[in-house]
Amino acid sequence: MRFLLFLLKSITILFCLGFAEMILAQTKTNIVWIVCEDISPFIGAYGDPIVRTPNIDKLASEGIRFTHVYTTAGVCAPSRSSIITGMNQINIGTMHMRTHNRPDLMPEGVPSHSAVLPVGVKAFPEFLRKVGYYTTNNAKEDYQFEEPVTVWDESSVAASYTNREGNQPFFSVFNLAISHESQIISPPDSLYYDVEKMNLPLYYENTKMMRHDMAAMYTRIEQMDDDVGEVIAKLKADGVYENSYVFFFSDHGGNLPWMKREILERGIRIPFIVKLPNGKSAGTTNNDLISSIDFAPTVLSIAGIKPPEYLEGKAFLGEYSTPEKNKYVFAARDRMANKYDRVRSVSDGTFRYVYNFHPEVSKYQDLAYRKQMGSMQEILDLRDSGKINNPYLEDWFNTPKEVEELYYTTKDPDEINNLAKNKYYQSKKDELKKALFDWLSRMDDKAQVCESDMVMNDWWKGKNKPPTTKSPKLKKLKEGIQITNQEPGASIGYRIFDGQVKDTVITKKMKSWDFAYVMGNGNNTEVKVSKPWKVYLGGTIPLKKGQILQINTQRIGYNPSEDLIKF
């Protein structure tokens, strides 16, 4: 009888800790993201007549090519914050570029900070880990906040799904940086494309330097395509390509001056391709309006997880995909480095409406980083010498700028003809303006609040540093430890040490993806051991006598708390 009771108790513990989820996970589908940086749909599969992208084009022939996908921002960190949370950046306070670990880029009086997300808002890979997925990120994060240890099994340049256990399902992100703006600032030594044959958008002066940087952009895209090919070859060699969902997309639009950071077509429309398992829907096209806040619920849906109700996006694939389509997609532009602006836009796929809250500042922002680019230097030289002959380029520098902009994007993809004052399009402008301001009301746009007040008063409660997450309550039982969360919305990770070192003291905190932990005895001896974090799912953590349980508890934006208990 005692044995039966012990067996039942053991089964209960294993179930609570996720054993059942691990069994169920064996039937789940692998999901791969190949994420490049800073490109609009300058891809052969999207009809670009110049670029050579055979690997991406082949992926499109094997999957679904989505034609109307938009990010929520035209720059990386705010955009990536919305992708990883499924929430628009203006609703969670991550709209300013940038906030975290770069005090040199912060305006005076605004501290470098990790955004404090609303209670319960998570980085969505944590939900995947809870049902048994192995999650890896290689390697860029840049979410505007320090993510908890519960988000990734690995996040580093060496992160790989191959480190998972057996046939454990995985969600793996591969970030390709070769097409980033920095790679135009430092252009390739030799260009793959003829500078004289470059066709420029209508908002540029047709100069050799501008054509050079356009050729550099195409060269970097072709190099990025080679990297895509390498990732796909690896997936095939490992036997996981056919039965996996493989996404390809950019974190936002183009990397040249007056492309990146803008919330126009050129700054937020991206290539987006999804290959489904076993050739399903190969070679098809989808014209639905999709926002990057739809990515998180879609991945959860594919994994068989019902998306949390707080998510703002809609799943467009998987078990919980919805027949309801987006009528509009929205975007926001706010502070860049130490230059403030507040711009909002909405698109219905045919027209775009833009509202400028600060007409007193020009569309152009004087950003030191971008000024390193050859074409940007040339544009400024032309401006300063009064030699800009292009009225559309000149508009970038005009003050005051128009409060309202309206573009017929399917006929005017460069968005150079502002129709906001054209009476013929008045009803469309009114429709989109109403949609935009209704959305802003729902979002409770955080940019309405002074940034320093948002951080130090709303988030840090009047202090000059973030709060520390409350430690959980720990209950010691005969068979292990139970944990009760005391901080609403916090994530709890844990790991167990066997205590091989006498008088063990854990001396250095590391995240799971470091795959190392420094332990020491009283003589300062250090021993490195492999101890990734696990996600606490409730119930009792089984422990043996002498083992050490380390617990990391964190609400996103707060400092984590750490607890150690020797069993």
The residues assigned a catalytic role are: 76
Q: Phi/psi of residue 269, each to 5°?
A: -80, 130
Cis peptide before 442 (omega within 30 of 0): no
The two counts, helices (H) then strands (E), for the chain are 14, 22
Helix (H) or strand (E) holding 272: strand 269-275
Q: Which residues fall within 8 angstroms of residue 536, CB to CB, at 6 or more apart? A: 483, 492, 493, 494, 551
Helix (H) or strand (E) holding 274: strand 269-275
542, two tokens: 């089984």
Helix (H) or strand (E) holding 493: strand 491-497
- Tell me which amino acid residue 313 is: G
8 Å CB contact between 30 and 243? yes
DSSP string for 477-524: -SSEEEEE--STT-EEEEEEE---STT-EE-----GGG--EEEE-TT-
Residue with token string 């880029």: 105
8 Å CB contact between 291 and 329? yes
Give the Cα-Cα-Cα angle 342, 84, 346 (nearest 5 degrees).
35
Residue 59, number of CB atoms within 10 A of its CB: 23
Residue with token string 């389509």: 325
SS3 label, residue 444 = coil
Residue 164, number of CB atoms within 10 A of its CB: 18
Q: Which residues fall within 8 angstroms of residue 233, CB to CB, at 6 or more apart? A: none
8 Å CB contact between 455 and 111? yes
8 Å CB contact between 183 and 220? yes
Residue 163's Cβ-count burial label (10 Å; 0-12, 13-18, 19+) is middle
Q: Are strands 548-554 and 561-566 parallel, antiparallel or unpaired?
A: antiparallel
Give the Cα separation of 533 and 496 in Å (integer): 9
8 Å CB contact between 206 and 239? no
Give the Cα separation of 259 and 39 in Å (integer): 9
Residue with token string 């513990």: 13
SS3 label, residue 527 = strand
b/e per residue 447-482 (b: at least 16 CB within 10 A): beeebeebbbeebbeeeeebeebebbeeeeeebbbb
479, two tokens: 């068979």
